[in-house]
């Protein structure tokens, strides 16, 4: 849910209230900027003045938001935040000799967010550490994919909305292994668990 990530990234621009999804982030990762807030690492990778706050983004979509699509999206908009397809943490960990295939992208795609999927804290930590060398502007944890392969057999994606304590631990593990903002993609509910209070419990 982009609004959750947006609230996490723009605490000084958006009001905090009991109903706001403010997800875990590391303090000090933001630099003041003419257009709003700029992730710390991005300041060294692009000229000043290139980023707007992440109010508009191209969402992560399997089999769609690959390198080619993102290049096209960047030609359409200089300021949209682009998301990768979900990359499973185990894929990154076990393919570390061929990481460019899964993580490399042209510099012109900044600002860009890597979306990671998984339910193993060790692998999420290792995957984030390996991905840190690619200078993504944000790391996003997938807690929204409803497919049977992911949420069913894989036990992650939307399935993680049943376990907000684990999501908190996962976000801490991800944040501890990168120096950029972290966020969560989720849904407003899962199965019959779609009340305001259940959504609020994710915070």
The number of beta carbons lying within 10 Å of the beta carbon of residue 3 is: 11
Closest CA to 113 of 39, 62, 29: 39
143 is catalytic: no
Question: pLDDT tens string for the chain (203 positions)?
Answer: 334 443 343 333 333 333 323 233 443 333 333 223 333 333 334 444 455 557 788 988 888 999 999 999 999 998 899 999 999 999 999 987 889 999 999 999 999 999 999 999 999 999 999 999 999 999 999 998 876 666 556 677 888 888 889 999 999 999 999 999 999 988 777 777 777 777 776 66
CATH number at residue 169: 3.20.20.70
Task: Kindly give the pairing relationship between strand 112-117 and strand 81-88.
Answer: parallel
Q: Which residue range forms the structural domain that includes residue 112?
A: 2-14+22-200
Taken in order 63, 64, 70, 71, the sign of the CA dihedral is positive
**Is the pTM here over 0.85, yes or no?**
no
CA angle 117, 105, 25 (to 5 degrees): 45
Q: Total structural domains in the chain?
A: 1
Instruction: Express each pLDDT in 33-67 by its tens digit.
Output: 322 333 333 333 444 445 555 778 898 888 899 99
State the catalytic residue, choosing from 145, 155, 178, 186: 145
Cα–Cα distance, 51 to 48 (Å, whole number)? 8
Picking from 77, 66, 144, the residue whose alpha carbon sits closest to that of residue 101 is 66
The secondary structure element, H or E, covering residue 163 is none
């Amino acid at each position: 849910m982009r609004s959750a990530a947006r609230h996490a990234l723009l605490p000084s621009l958006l009001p905090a209230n009991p109903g706001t999804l403010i997800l875990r982030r590391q303090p000090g990762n933001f630099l003041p900027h003419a257009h709003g807030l700029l992730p710390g690492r991005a300041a060294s990778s692009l000229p000043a003045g290139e980023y707007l706050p992440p109010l508009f983004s191209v969402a992560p979509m399997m089999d769609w938001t690959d390198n080619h699509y993102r290049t096209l999206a960047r030609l359409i908009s200089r300021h949209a935040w682009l998301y990768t397809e979900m990359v499973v943490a185990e894929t990154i960990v076990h393919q570390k000799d061929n990481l460019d295939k899964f993580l490399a992208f042209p510099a012109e795609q900044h600002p860009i967010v890597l979306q990671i999927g998984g339910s193993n804290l060790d692998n999420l930590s290792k995957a984030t550490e390996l991905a840190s060398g690619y200078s993504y502007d944000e790391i996003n944890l997938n807690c929204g994919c409803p497919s049977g392969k992911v949420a069913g057999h894989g036990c992650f994606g939307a399935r993680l909305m049943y376990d907000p304590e684990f999501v908190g631990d996962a976000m801490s593990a991800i944040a501890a292994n990168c120096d950029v903002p972290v966020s969560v993609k989720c849904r407003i509910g899962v199965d019959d668990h779609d009340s305001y209070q259940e959504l609020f419990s994710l915070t």
